Chains A and B, each alone.
Chain A
Amino acid sequence: MHHYLDFEKPISDLEGKIHELKKIASEDESIDTSEEVERLEARAREAMAEIYAKLTPWQKTQVARHPQRPHFVDYASRLFSEWTPLAGDRKFAEDAAIQAGLARFNGQPVALIGQEKGNDTKSRIQHNFGSARPEGYRKAIRVMEMAERFGLPIVTLIDTAGAYPGIGAEERGQAEAIARSTEMCLNVTVPIVSVIIGEGGSGGAIAIATGDRVYMLQHSIYSVISPEGAASILWRDSARAKEAATTMKITAEDLKGFGIVDGIIEEPVGGAHRDHEAVINRTGETIAAALADLLPVERATLRKNRREKYLAIGRSL
């Protein structure tokens, strides 16, 4: 079953009709619906292209959160070989909201880190909907340290609504864990390539997104607070999230304009969820190009450049 978003009504209507026509033709061989199906398919393609060419920031938020959007595990299995997740922060617990481990990317040994949201009720609960507790960030720190020791480049894939707001998370130092993780990103001398594949939610995102290169998928979002959170703080009304999504400037284009992301990875017409393979391959090409640029750079220079990149953000606005 395809999950349609509210603004995709024209597409879902057309695709519904196409489905019915195909069903009629398959049940009764004397009826030929192929011409009509073709006509409707063309119209559906048009409608999709039209709608997706001018998505509002709130619509992009919905696409970024689409349940069928490719998640961390999809990238890990398609783009990387020998993906070996590691577990635990060696201090308190394992946190499956963050996946971190070793893999090969085009044969090159790498460390891979990212948030996984899960794709059904069971896995969503297992991964805590992609909202990590301190243990998740401490596991990421552990794997980054290891990458530094063995000279492995780090790839991070970001997809989280934010770090988990809970009593236990606070007790165990959520803020400190995030701060240390960002600090580790700024301290390693191996390359870090980060891609926002869905939601880049606040501190929970930046903790593993402080890379040498940062890319965003075309319909992903990256913000200091979720549109709902912003609406609830600024207007005391979370129903104004739509408005907040626009005001907060959270789209890939906005961030490219501010000089915060280095590039935008184009999504297939109709969003990443309509063609996993295409978007994952494009992401792979982007990561490969970035690593090819970064790997020859001397390690101390790499870290110096990374720090200068962050210091420069916002200075020329």
Chain B
Amino acid sequence: MNWITNYVRPKINSMLGRREVPENLWIKCPETGEMVFHRDLEENKWVIPASGYHMKMPAKARLRDLFDGGLYESLPQPKVAQDPLRFRDSKKYSDRLKDGRTKTELEDTIVAGLGTVKGVKLVAVVHEFNFMAGSLGIAAGEAIIKAFERAIAEKCPLVMFPASGGARMQEGILSLMQLPRTTVAVEMLKEAGLPYIVVLTNPTTGGVTASYAMLGDVHLAEPGAQIGFAGQRVIEQTIREKLPEGFQTSEYLYEHGMVDMVVKRHEIAETLARLLKILMKTPAVSETEQALELHEDLSAAAE
């Protein structure tokens, strides 16, 4: 190794684009320890086939998987102030942003798209957890607001897939301000008479749950996701006792009335489409089919 290899290699890698083969060919199930080949995992929507454990799913893969035929219009990341606090902890925030961008090839944590899911037009907003733990800062807040505005313009529902550790500490109070800002966006959609569905994925905590993640008309949650306001370490330190088993999981939130249903990843698209068609008062599938058949019959008769 010398300075040339250090310096040149990352550039060449970026020129070649993302490597086809991920670093971890075999992925271990966190629950059972079973090893799964990455391609098998990807084919099964990042759900471990044997145990049914829901691994975190990359945001772009989520959109491709969700939308019909994997096709959607990608919504742009709005330009926002970078590092307004000139923040530095053990590392400069600007470097953390750079690392996140290299790692995920995204500008920030929010990825949003417009497309159809089982025929229902909608805007989907997904947090990329790999980008600074999906944390909510100015960039994410602005991207979320723009996505809601787009849904309103398109007169279509918005589906949110949060996966976030909460507010982005490195943006201080400006990250806290994303709570009311995103809430304004949710209110605008609701006032336009359009449905807002939240699909809680692992993990969704802190400021994200204290705003748009808990304001859906309907809340779905993927099995076994960690969802809560306060961090478990903080709670343990405050009350000085061990937390009950399954605390802050999807199933726990379902039992306590915070989510409507726990839905396996394979059934999410269908569940969303069913709910949204009812909320948007779209004719039932069978009726549509009947109408189509009738139309064909009539056309045939006319000929």
Do the beta carbons of B247 and A170 come within 8 Å of each other? yes
Interface residue B229 (Cβ < 8 Å from any Cβ of A): yes
CB neighbours (8 Å) of B173 from chain A are 222-224, 248-250, 254-255, 258, 260
Do the beta carbons of A175 and B235 come within 8 Å of each other? no
Complex CA distance for A234 and B142, rounded to whole angstroms: 24
Q: Which chain A residues numbered 174 to 224 have a C-beta less than 8 Å away from chain B?
A: 174-176, 178-180, 182-183, 185-187, 202-203, 206-207, 210, 222-224
Interface string of A223-252 (1 = CB under 8 A from B): 111000110011100000000000111100
Interface residue B37 (Cβ < 8 Å from any Cβ of A): no
Binding-face segment, B43-51, B62-70, B79-87 = B79-87
Chain A interface category by residue count: 35 or more
Interface string of B232-256 (1 = CB under 8 A from A): 0011001100011001100000001
Count chain A CB atoms within 10 A of each CB in B81, B230, B243 and give the residue with the most.
Answer: B230
Contacts A224-B169, A249-B173 given; does A317 touch B229 at CB 8 Å: no
Contacts A178-B210, A224-B173, A248-B172 given; does A170 touch B235 at CB 8 Å: yes
Binding-face segment, A21-29, A141-149, A159-167, A273-281 = A159-167
Interface string of B21-60 (1 = CB under 8 A from A): 0000000000000000000000000000000000000000
Interface string of A300-317 (1 = CB under 8 A from B): 000000010011011101
- A173 is contacted by which of B211, B212, B214 (Cβ under 8 Å)? B214
Taking the closest CB of chain A, its distance from the CB of B150, in whole angstroms, is 15
Q: Which secondary structure dominates where chain A touches chain B?
A: helix
Taking the closest CB of chain A, its distance from the CB of B99, in whole angstroms, is 16
Binding-face segment, B177-185, B260-268, B288-296 = B177-185
Complex CA distance for A310 and B184, rounded to whole angstroms: 8
Taking the closest CB of chain A, its distance from the CB of B232, in whole angstroms, is 9
- B244 is contacted by which of A167, A169, A176, A247 (Cβ under 8 Å)? A167
Interface residue A172 (Cβ < 8 Å from any Cβ of B): yes
Taking the closest CB of chain B, its distance from the CB of A178, in whole angstroms, is 4
Do the beta carbons of A163 and B229 come within 8 Å of each other? yes
Complex CA distance for A169 and B230, rounded to whole angstroms: 9
CB neighbours (8 Å) of A185 from chain B are 180
Contacts A247-B87, A249-B85 given; does A175 touch B180 at CB 8 Å: no
Complex CA distance for A93 and B231, rounded to whole angstroms: 24
Contacts A224-B175, A233-B169, A250-B172 given; does A173 touch B257 at CB 8 Å: yes
Nearest CB in chain A to that of B181: its residue: A310
Do the beta carbons of A210 and B256 come within 8 Å of each other? no
Complex CA distance for A185 and B231, rounded to whole angstroms: 26
Do the beta carbons of A223 and B180 come within 8 Å of each other? no
Taking the closest CB of chain B, its distance from the CB of A251, in whole angstroms, is 10
Contacts A174-B230, A178-B229, A311-B181 given; does A167 touch B243 at CB 8 Å: yes
Complex CA distance for A195 and B141, rounded to whole angstroms: 25
Interface residue A6 (Cβ < 8 Å from any Cβ of B): no
Count chain B CB atoms within 10 A of each CB in A170, A173, A187, A235 and give the residue with the most.
Answer: A170
Do the beta carbons of A175 and B213 come within 8 Å of each other? yes
Interface residue A293 (Cβ < 8 Å from any Cβ of B): no
CB neighbours (8 Å) of B234 from chain A are 165, 229
Nearest CB in chain B to that of A174: its residue: B229
Complex CA distance for A212 and B238, rounded to whole angstroms: 34
Complex CA distance for A165 and B256, rounded to whole angstroms: 17
Interface residue B77 (Cβ < 8 Å from any Cβ of A): no
Complex CA distance for A183 and B164, rounded to whole angstroms: 20
Do the beta carbons of B184 and A230 come within 8 Å of each other? no
Contacts A202-B207, A258-B174 given; does A313 touch B181 at CB 8 Å: yes
Do the beta carbons of A247 and B89 come within 8 Å of each other? yes
CB neighbours (8 Å) of A170 from chain B are 228-230, 235, 247-248
Do the beta carbons of A210 and B169 come within 8 Å of each other? no
CB neighbours (8 Å) of B180 from chain A are 182, 185-186, 206, 210, 310
Taking the closest CB of chain A, its distance from the CB of B228, in whole angstroms, is 5
Nearest CB in chain B to that of A222: its residue: B173
CB neighbours (8 Å) of B179 from chain A are 179, 182, 203, 206
Complex CA distance for A112 and B248, rounded to whole angstroms: 33
Taking the closest CB of chain A, its distance from the CB of B299, in whole angstroms, is 50
CB neighbours (8 Å) of A183 from chain B are 183, 186-187, 215
Do the beta carbons of A314 and B257 come within 8 Å of each other? no
Interface residue A171 (Cβ < 8 Å from any Cβ of B): yes
Complex CA distance for A207 and B256, rounded to whole angstroms: 22
Taking the closest CB of chain A, its distance from the CB of B78, in whole angstroms, is 9
Contacts A169-B230, A203-B229, A311-B145 given; does A179 touch B172 at CB 8 Å: no
Interface residue B90 (Cβ < 8 Å from any Cβ of A): yes
Taking the closest CB of chain A, its distance from the CB of B167, in whole angstroms, is 5
Taking the closest CB of chain B, its distance from the CB of A299, in whole angstroms, is 15
CB neighbours (8 Å) of A207 from chain B are 210
Contacts A172-B256, A247-B87 given; does A260 touch B169 at CB 8 Å: no
CB neighbours (8 Å) of A315 from chain B are 80, 142
Interface residue B110 (Cβ < 8 Å from any Cβ of A): no
Do the beta carbons of A202 and B176 come within 8 Å of each other? yes
Pairs of residues from A and B, 9 with the lowest C-beta to C-beta distance, nearest first: A165-B230, A175-B209, A317-B81, A175-B229, A234-B89, A203-B210, A224-B176, A178-B210, A176-B214
22 A-B residue pairings within 8 Å (CB atoms): A167-B244, A170-B228, A175-B214, A176-B214, A179-B179, A180-B215, A182-B210, A182-B211, A183-B183, A183-B215, A186-B180, A186-B183, A202-B167, A207-B210, A224-B175, A225-B167, A248-B85, A249-B85, A250-B172, A311-B184, A313-B174, A315-B142
| Residues on A facing B (Cβ under 8 Å) | 163-167, 169-176, 178-180, 182-183, 185-187, 202-203, 206-207, 210, 222-225, 229-230, 233-235, 247-250, 254-255, 258, 260, 307, 310-311, 313-315, 317
